[in-house]
């Protein structure tokens, strides 16, 4: 369904009331107070006419900015306002599509825009933001969030009734806690709602200074390789279950042994793999002998390897059967030395 934000009227109506949004200035000043003044490159998602970008570039005098929006009307106004100023670049982009190659940033900011994306896309976008932040970088999302119930929502609508009489149909509001948990799971640190007034909240997460850059900037990307026996002719569901079992064993075995597992107990490469894209590749072998040869070579190379033996209760005529294994996560060059010759599954 086309978004109302693509219409000139909708954009114009918002711009007429944007400065009347109650408590907006309080949220913005909290955002600025958190944003390091020495930030050099800042991205604004759903920048509108460049309102937030203007504030953050005043706050960070040495920074340049990139603003993304999909509304031609908003982009036109933004470009008019910044005409002749090469500190800022405005790019037409639909936030429902993956972020294009924009380089990396010291800060990614957004105000009242991401809640227009479906929830699944919000989560993906947060990961893409994390991937584009330099170590030590900030993500600040001043956002319209969901109320916990209808009464609280009605009170919010009443509080903003002077500027908004009805619900914006393009709103896809989500509660604060879910979004904070996503940010933590992605690997952001110091995640919290730093400011809140009714349905307006400021969600912030930082990328740790010590975090290495992601897979693509490492000389050898990190991955886990799952090697599956093809000769057993397992059903697809069975293969997926066995592969999932193999992949999880790397953490599940530690949990079983110690009842808890901390990132600090893992190697730096394993931590990086978990914090980044946890890439997995599935290859195939055609016999138990081949599977065991791969297993032994991986053990000999000092790689983490987990061999899965199915109990045979549902398949394999009751016979315990070696079905697959997972190697890693580890550096691709180390794993490729063992599995590089195998066909993909």
Positions in the binding site for ligand SAM (CB under 6 A): 3, 5, 14, 18, 46-48, 51-52, 69-71, 74, 94-96, 111-113, 116-117
Cβ at position 162, least distance to ligand SAM in Å: 17
Nearer to ligand SAM, 115 or 331 (CB): 115
* Closest residue by Cα to residue 256 from 181, 306, 329: 306
Query: Are 199 and 150 within 8 A, CB to CB?
Result: no
Burial status of residue 22 (CB atoms within 10 A of its CB: 0-12, 13-18, 19 or more): middle
**Measured from the CB of residue 70, what is the shortest distance to ligand SAM in angstroms?**
4
Q: Which residue has the tokens 């933590």?
A: 184
Coil vs helix vs strand at 344: strand
Burial of 195 (0-12, 13-18, 19+ CB in 10 A): buried
Min separation Cβ 106 and ligand SAM, Å: 19
111 or 211, CB closer to ligand SAM? 111
Question: Omega before 217 cis (within 30°)?
Answer: no
Task: Between 47 and 232, name the residue whose CB sits nearer to ligand SAM.
Answer: 47
Q: Which residue is nearest to ligand SAM (CB)?
A: 48
Which is closer to ligand SAM, CB of 45 or CB of 186?
Answer: 45
Q: How many C-beta atoms lie closer than 10 Å to residue 161's C-beta?
A: 10
Give the C-alpha separation, 95 to 113, whole Å: 9
Nearer to ligand SAM, 95 or 225 (CB): 95
For the bound state, the minimum distance from the C-beta of residue 203 to ligand SAM, rounded and expressed in Å, comes to 14
Shortest spacing between CB 193 and ligand SAM, in angstroms:
18
Structure tokens that stand for 175 in this block = 């509660």
Nearer to ligand SAM, 88 or 95 (CB): 95
CB 197 → ligand SAM: shortest distance, Å? 15
């Amino acid at each position: 369904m086309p978004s109302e934000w693509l219409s000139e009227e909708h954009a114009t109506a918002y711009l007429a009331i944007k400065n009347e949004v109650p408590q907006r200035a309080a949220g913005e000043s909290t955002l600025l107070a958190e944003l390091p003044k020495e930030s050099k490159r800042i991205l604004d998602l759903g920048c509108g006419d460049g309102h937030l970008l203007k504030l953050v570039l005043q706050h960070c005098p040495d920074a340049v900015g990139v603003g993304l929006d999909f509304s031609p009307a908003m982009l036109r106004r933004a470009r008019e306002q910044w005409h002749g100023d090469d500190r800022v670049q405005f790019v037409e982009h639909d936030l429902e599509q993956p972020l294009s190659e924009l380089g990396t940033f010291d800060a990614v900011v957004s105000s009242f825009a991401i809640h227009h994306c479906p929830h699944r896309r919000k989560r993906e976008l947060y990961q893409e933001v994390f991937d584009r932040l330099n170590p030590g970088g900030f993500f600040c999302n001043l956002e319209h969030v969901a109320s916990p119930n209808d009464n609280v929502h009605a009170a919010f609508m009443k509080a903003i009734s002077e500027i908004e009489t009805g619900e914006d149909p393009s709103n896809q509001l989500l509660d604060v806690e879910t979004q904070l948990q996503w940010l933590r799971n992605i690997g952001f640190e110091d995640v919290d709602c730093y400011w809140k007034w009714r349905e307006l909240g400021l969600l912030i997460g930082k990328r740790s200074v010590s975090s290495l850059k992601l897979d693509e900037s490492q000389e050898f990307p990190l991955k886990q390789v799952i090697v599956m026996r093809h000769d057993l002719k397992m059903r697809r569901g069975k293969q997926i279950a066995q592969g999932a079992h193999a992949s999880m064993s790397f953490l599940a075995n530690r949990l079983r042994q110690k009842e808890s597992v901390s990132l600090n107990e893992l190697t730096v490469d394993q931590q990086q793999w978990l914090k980044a894209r946890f890439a997995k590749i599935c290859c195939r072998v055609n016999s138990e002998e081949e599977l065991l040869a791969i297993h032994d070579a991986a053990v000999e190379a000092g790689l983490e390897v987990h061999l899965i033996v199915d109990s045979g209760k549902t398949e394999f005529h009751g016979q315990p059967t070696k079905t697959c294994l997972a190697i890693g996560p580890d550096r691709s060059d180390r794993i490729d030395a063992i599995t590089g010759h195998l066909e993909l599954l």
